[in-house]
Amino acid sequence: MKAAILLADGFEEIETSAVFDVLKRAGVSVFTAGIKPGCLTGSRGLNVTPDTCLSSLTPVTLDAVVVPGGYPGYVNLANTPGVLAILGQMASAGKHIASICAGPLVLEKAGVIKGRKVTCYPGMEDRLESAVFVPGQVVVDGNIITSRGPGTAIEFALALVKHWVSPEMADRVKEDMVA
């Protein structure tokens, strides 16, 4: 399993680091991909240098992609044509797409959640025009997994492990983390 977490300036730190950490613990080959080369600054000021740049991603070699929220991170991702193209290619291939907080608005703009059940950060539900909003902490609809926000990041990450690796691995990671 190979997964990329897409990052732009203004990414949500907890959502990014929790997902990265939990996926690594589960043995997933996970890495970060920035929309531009060099250091990016999170919504709370954390500076991170992504592992690679979006322009070097090849969706055919990926099994999954994760879109975190954070402001203005989700806006920056949604305004990047390469991000929308990758999401479209991943969806067309039936690959895994996950998003948390305001990140599902990026999925909406990419046109990959039409008619799908999703959740998002409270107050942004009406901006999911093509999807079916469900108020759960984590919502799974086939290959699309979404979650509400920073406070649900660990639960979201464990759901990714459950569906992408195995329920047993999710249980093991949860127990090891004392979650």
Question: Choosing from 39, 53, 101, 120, which is the catalytic residue?
Answer: 101
SS3 31: strand
Neighbour count for residue 84 (Cβ, 10 Å): 18
The rounded distance, in Å, linking the Cα atoms of 54 and 93 is 19
Half-sphere exposure for 63 (CA within 13 Å, toward CB): 13
Pairing of strands 64-67, 52-53: unpaired
Report residue 77 as tokens. 């991702």
Neighbour count for residue 93 (Cβ, 10 Å): 12
Whether 120 is a known active-site residue: answer: no
Residues with a known catalytic role? 101
